[in-house]
């Protein structure tokens, strides 16, 4: 058996395992897993196995792994389809019907398990002339957190998101497996030092408390189009509104003293908005905080206001930037604030950005993505959720400890909701985590919905501000800071 044959025909075996933070400890034959990494998706990691590595003595502790034969014609793109971790309250008959329709669509004409037949005429979005989608389904589970693999014609990959049930997201697997890049020991040591030196600092407290709730309300209403001023209908990565938002964000960040760039990463997509504050001392150290400004609406609707997903993370960034300007903070390290696009289609914007940072050998000491900060179920206290699966546990611990000090009103816990832009940085071996609205699965009934507005029950601006305070305090602690001389300090 060979794995690479001529004439565009390829056969491979994919090993799918529950997420193991330290893969090196699992393999007994060096390189079998660590040199054949395809990424981690929804709490599972994917590897490509070579024949010698098929011997089960090559690993230990991989009991729950599954092996998936993969065959496809031509250079099809492999897409991992992942259902989000959602609260049972979101599993409505409407959603179940949507999923069943989707499964039926997948199963029609025997598309399951690598039959490799072509689909046609199913969807408006994919034209009938499409060369087709081949489906390789693995473990579509009846309960939440299902996942599957499909192989599609590469040009269809960027828009496949539009076909999925509302709580499902696509992640494109890389064309070739790569080396598993763990966060280097010195980088972890640096984060541990930051953790050990966490203390209440009244100056940090006053700086983070200067984030303005009133301004955040104005900003979110502009981004969603609720204020009737911006004219934004959708911030979907392919919509005009996302480009309007990108230009506006760049201007707002620049007003705070940052140097910004609109960075295109793929044709058809709105650009990343990347902003920098330069270091006051000579250092390579860079602290990066981020959110994604693109959004997703309901199937068949043009409207995608993204008030929570991820307008909330975007106004947190903006609130932090405005507070940097108002208080005259000057960072000792380099600081980047990045609003990504292409998150909903599979982290395209952040993958390009993180890859570039890795190629430049950037020294990102801490990365924190804010995605969905605004919602908690009625009656629940304000919360902060940290990722259970993807990210650097030391960074999550640091954020957790900062939260206890600067936003004690937040109940901190872990969430299975996953896979936002911090994953792209974690994959490149940078210390990264995410802040999220809930210490549990997603409960926002307007998740991936055209009614994801900022004025609705359960949307809690003060929770967004509390989480932004934590993100900001961690930034101040990790980067170090002084004040510019011409500022009157309070």
The site for Zn ion (CB under 5 A) is made up of 309-310, 371
Residue 433 sits in the site that holds ligand NAG (CB under 6 A) = no
Which of 66, 259, 284, 301 lies at the binding interface for ligand NAG (CB under 6 A)? 284
Residue 399 CB, nearest approach to ligand NAG (Å): 10
Nearer to ligand NAG, 394 or 437 (CB): 394
Residue 407 sits in the site that holds ligand NAG (CB under 6 A) = no
Nearer to Zn ion, 83 or 310 (CB): 310
Closest CA to 336 of 277, 279, 280, 257: 277
Nearer to ligand NAG, 49 or 285 (CB): 285
Tokens of 214: 């009133």
The residue of the chain with the least Cβ separation from ligand NAG equals 285
Residue 196 CB, nearest approach to ligand NAG (Å): 5
Nearer to ligand NAG, 426 or 448 (CB): 426
Which of 14, 183, 207, 285 lies at the binding interface for ligand NAG (CB under 6 A)? 285
Site size toward ligand NAG, by CB under 6 A: 11
Nearer to ligand NAG, 278 or 284 (CB): 284
Residue 422 CB, nearest approach to Zn ion (Å): 11
Nearer to Zn ion, 207 or 416 (CB): 416
The label of the residue with tokens 């909701």 reads 417
Binding partner selected for residue 371 from Zn ion, ligand NAG, none, CB under the kind-specific 5 to 8 Å limit? Zn ion
Residue 365 sits in the site that holds ligand NAG (CB under 6 A) = yes
Residue 473 CB, nearest approach to Zn ion (Å): 23
Stretch of 56-64, 110-118, 262-270, 283-291 contacting ligand NAG, by CB under 6 A: 283-291
Which of 123, 209, 283, 298 lies at the binding interface for ligand NAG (CB under 6 A)? 283
Stretch of 65-73, 123-131, 279-287, 464-472 contacting ligand NAG, by CB under 6 A: 279-287
Residue 393 sits in the site that holds ligand NAG (CB under 6 A) = no
Nearer to Zn ion, 27 or 371 (CB): 371
Residue 471 sits in the site that holds ligand NAG (CB under 6 A) = no
Tell me the C-alpha distance between 345 and 224, whole Å. Answer: 19
Binding partner selected for residue 351 from Zn ion, ligand NAG, none, CB under the kind-specific 5 to 8 Å limit? none
Nearer to ligand NAG, 167 or 277 (CB): 277
Nearer to Zn ion, 226 or 452 (CB): 452
Peptide bond between residue 219 and the one before it cis (omega within 30 degrees of 0): no
Per-residue 3-state assignment (H helix, E strand, C coil) for the chain: CCCEECCCEEEEEEEEEECCCCHHHCECCCCCCCCCEEEEECCEEEEEECHHHHCHHHECCCCCCEEEEEEEECCCEEEEEEECCECHHHCCHHHHHHHHHHHHHHHHHHCCCCCCCCCCCCCCCCCCCCCCEEEECCCCCCCCCCEEEEEECHHHHHHHHHHCCCCEEEEECCCCCECCCCCCHHHHHHHHHHHHCCCCCHHHHHHHCCCCHHHHHHHHHHHHCCCCCCCCCECCCCCHHHHHHHHHHHHHHHHCCCEEEEECCCCCCCCEEEEEECCCCCCCEEEEEEEECCCCCCCCCCCECCCCCCHHHHHHHHHHHHHHHHHCEEECCEEEEEEECCCCCCCHHHHHHHHHHHHCCCEEEEEEEECCCCECCCCCCCEEEEECCCCCHHHHHHHHHHHHHHCCCCEEEEECCCCCCHHHHHHCCCCEEEEECCCCCECCCCCCCCCCCCCCCCECHHHHHHHHHHHHHHHHHHHCEEECCCCCCC
- Strand pairing partners for 262? 273
Tell me the C-alpha distance between 16 and 68, whole Å. Answer: 8
Residue 248 CB, nearest approach to ligand NAG (Å): 33
Residue 401 sits in the site that holds ligand NAG (CB under 6 A) = yes
Binding partner selected for residue 427 from ligand NAG, Zn ion, none, CB under the kind-specific 5 to 8 Å limit? none
Residue 364 CB, nearest approach to ligand NAG (Å): 9
Site mask for ligand NAG (CB under 6 A), range 231-270, x = bound: ----------------------------------------
Binding partner selected for residue 45 from Zn ion, ligand NAG, none, CB under the kind-specific 5 to 8 Å limit? none
Nearer to Zn ion, 172 or 401 (CB): 172
Binding partner selected for residue 261 from Zn ion, ligand NAG, none, CB under the kind-specific 5 to 8 Å limit? none
Nearer to ligand NAG, 177 or 431 (CB): 431
Query: How far apart, in Å, are the Cα atoms of 88 and each of 95, 120, 263?
Result: 11, 34, 39
Query: How far apart, in Å, are the Cα atoms of 112 and each of 137, 258, 295, 330?
Result: 6, 50, 30, 56
Q: CB count, 10 Å around CB of 291?
A: 30
Site mask for ligand NAG (CB under 6 A), range 186-225, x = bound: ----x----xx-x---------------------------
Phi (first) and psi of residue 67, to 5 degrees = -110, 130
Tokens of 16: 């799918």
Binding partner selected for residue 310 from ligand NAG, Zn ion, none, CB under the kind-specific 5 to 8 Å limit? Zn ion
Residue 280 sits in the site that holds ligand NAG (CB under 6 A) = no
Length of the chain (residues): 490
Positions that interact with ligand NAG (CB under 6 A): 190, 195-196, 198, 283-285, 363, 365, 401, 404
């Amino acid at each position: 058996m060979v794995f690479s044959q001529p004439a565009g025909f390829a056969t491979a075996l994919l090993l799918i395992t529950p997420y193991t933070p330290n893969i090196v400890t699992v393999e007994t034959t060096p390189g079998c897993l660590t040199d054949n990494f395809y990424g981690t998706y929804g709490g599972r990691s994917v590897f490509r196995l070579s024949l010698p590595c098929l011997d089960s003595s090559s690993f230990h502790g991989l009991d729950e792994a599954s092996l998936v034969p993969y065959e496809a014609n031509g250079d099809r793109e492999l897409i991992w389809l992942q259902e989000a971790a959602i609260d049972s309250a979101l599993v409505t008959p409407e959603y179940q019907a949507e999923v069943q329709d989707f499964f039926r669509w997948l199963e029609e004409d025997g598309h399951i398990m690598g039959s490799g037949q072509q689909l046609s005429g199913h969807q408006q979005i994919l034209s009938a002339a499409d060369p087709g989608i081949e489906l390789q389904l693995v473990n579509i589970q009846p309960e939440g957190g299902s996942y599957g693999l499909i192989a599609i014609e590469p040009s269809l990959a960027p828009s496949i998101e539009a076909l999925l049930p509302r709580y499902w997201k696509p992640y494109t697997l890389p064309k070739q497996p790569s080396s598993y890049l763990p966060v280097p020991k010195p980088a972890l040591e640096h984060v541990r030092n930051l953790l050990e030196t966490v203390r209440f600092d009244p100056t940090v407290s006053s700086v983070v408390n200067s984030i303005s709730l009133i301004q955040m309300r104005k900003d979110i209403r502009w981004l969603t189009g609720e204020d009737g001023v911006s004219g934004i209908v959708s911030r979907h990565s392919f919509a005009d509104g996302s480009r309007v938002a990108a230009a506006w964000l760049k201007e707002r960040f620049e007003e705070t003293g940052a140097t910004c760039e609109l960075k295109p990463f793929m044709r058809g997509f709105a650009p990343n908005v990347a902003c920098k504050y330069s270091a006051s001392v000579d250092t390579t150290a860079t602290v990066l905080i981020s959110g994604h400004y693109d959004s997703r609406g309901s199937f068949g609707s043009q409207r995608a206001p993204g008030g929570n997903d991820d307008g909330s993370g975007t106004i947190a960034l903006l609130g932090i930037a405005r507070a940097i300007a108002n208080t005259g903070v000057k960072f000792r390290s380099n600081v980047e604030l990045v609003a990504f696009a292409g998150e909903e289609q599979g982290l395209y914007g952040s993958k390009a950005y993180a890859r570039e940072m890795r190629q430049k050998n950037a020294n990102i000491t801490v990365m924190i993505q804010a995605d969905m900060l605004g919602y908690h179920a009625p009656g629940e206290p304000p919360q902060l959720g940290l990722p259970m699966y993807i990210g650097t546990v030391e960074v999550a611990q640091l954020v957790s400890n900062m939260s206890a000090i600067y936003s004690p009103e937040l109940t901190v816990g872990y969430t299975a909701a996953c896979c936002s832009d911090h994953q792209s940085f974690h994959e490149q071996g940078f210390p990264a985590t995410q802040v999220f609205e809930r210490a549990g699965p997603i409960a926002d009934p307007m998740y991936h919905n055209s009614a994801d507005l900022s004025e609705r029950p359960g949307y809690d601006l003060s929770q967004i501000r509390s989480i932004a305070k934590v993100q900001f305090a961690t930034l101040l602690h990790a980067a170090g800071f002084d004040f510019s001389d011409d500022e009157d300090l309070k």
